[in-house]
Amino acid sequence: MGKILTRMGDGSRVEMTAAEIQQDLEAAAQDAAERANVPSLTDDEIKYLLDLYKCKDRVVGVEEGKECCLTYDNMTSKIKRAHIPISKIQQLLLFERGLGADTLELAHIDYSFKQCKHVVQYEKPNMEQAVLQTIAPIFYGSMPNLGLYSVPDGPVANPGDMLPLGKIEESKEAFEQMAEYAIKDMVYVGSELYEKAGADGINFDTTAAAGDAEFYAALKAAEILHDKYPDMGIEMGMSGEFILGLHSEIEYNGVRLAGLYPQDQVKLAEQAGVTIFGPAINIGTNESLPWNLARSIVFTKACSEAAEIPIHANLGMGVGGVPLTLTPPLDALSRASKAHVELCRLDGL
Partner 1 sequence: MSEKIFKEAIEAILKGDTDKATDVAKRGLDEGLNPIELMDKGFIQGINQVGDLFETGRLFLPQLVYSAMAMEKATEIINAAIPEEKALVTGKVVVGTVEGDVHDIGKTIVVSLFKANGFEVLDIGRDVPVERFIDQAEKFGAHIIGSSTLLTTTMAMQKQLEQELKKAGLREKYKTIVGGAPVTQRWADRIGADAYAQDAGDGVKKVKLLLTA
Q: Report the interface residues with partner 1, using CB under 8 A.
A: 9-10, 12, 35, 147, 152-153, 158-161, 163-164, 166, 168, 171-172, 210-212, 241-248, 258-261, 284-286, 318, 324, 326
CB 68 within 8 A of CB 79: no
* Residue 126 or 206 having the CB closest to partner 1: 206
In the complex, least distance from residue 315 CB atom to partner 1, rounded to whole angstroms: 17
* Residue 27 or 62 having the CB closest to partner 1: 27
In the complex, least distance from residue 329 CB atom to partner 1, rounded to whole angstroms: 14
What one-letter code names the amino acid at 288? S
In the complex, least distance from residue 146 CB atom to partner 1, rounded to whole angstroms: 9
State the maximum Cα–Cα separation within the chain, in Å, rounded to a whole number.
Answer: 61
In the complex, least distance from residue 163 CB atom to partner 1, rounded to whole angstroms: 5
In the complex, least distance from residue 131 CB atom to partner 1, rounded to whole angstroms: 33
C-alpha Rg value of the chain to the nearest Å:
20
In DSSP terms, 95 is beta-bridged to none
* Residue 161 or 305 having the CB closest to partner 1: 161
* Residue 91 or 145 having the CB closest to partner 1: 145
Measure the CA–CA gap between 303 and 141, rounded to whole angstroms.
Answer: 22
Region of 177 on the Ramachandran plot (φ > 0 left; ψ -120 to 50 alpha; else beta): alpha
Task: Check whether the bond before 152 is cis (ω within 30° of 0).
Answer: yes
Please enumerate in sequence order all residues whose Cβ is within 8 A of that of 44, keeping only pairs 6 or more positions apart, or say none.
none
What one-letter code names the amino acid at 185? D
* Residue 74 or 134 having the CB closest to partner 1: 74
Measure the CA–CA gap between 88 and 123, rounded to whole angstroms.
Answer: 10
Backbone angles phi, psi at 248, to 5 degrees: 90, -20
Positive or negative, the CA dihedral 257, 260, 264, 265 is: positive
* Residue 126 or 171 having the CB closest to partner 1: 171
CB 185 within 8 A of CB 151: no
In the complex, least distance from residue 205 CB atom to partner 1, rounded to whole angstroms: 15
In the complex, least distance from residue 14 CB atom to partner 1, rounded to whole angstroms: 12
Stretch (H or E) spanning 100: none
* Residue 132 or 165 having the CB closest to partner 1: 165
Which residue in 278, 287, 250, 271 sits closest to 32, CA to CA? 287
* Residue 171 or 203 having the CB closest to partner 1: 171
In the complex, least distance from residue 199 CB atom to partner 1, rounded to whole angstroms: 28
Which residue in 13, 294, 11 sits closest to 3, CA to CA? 13
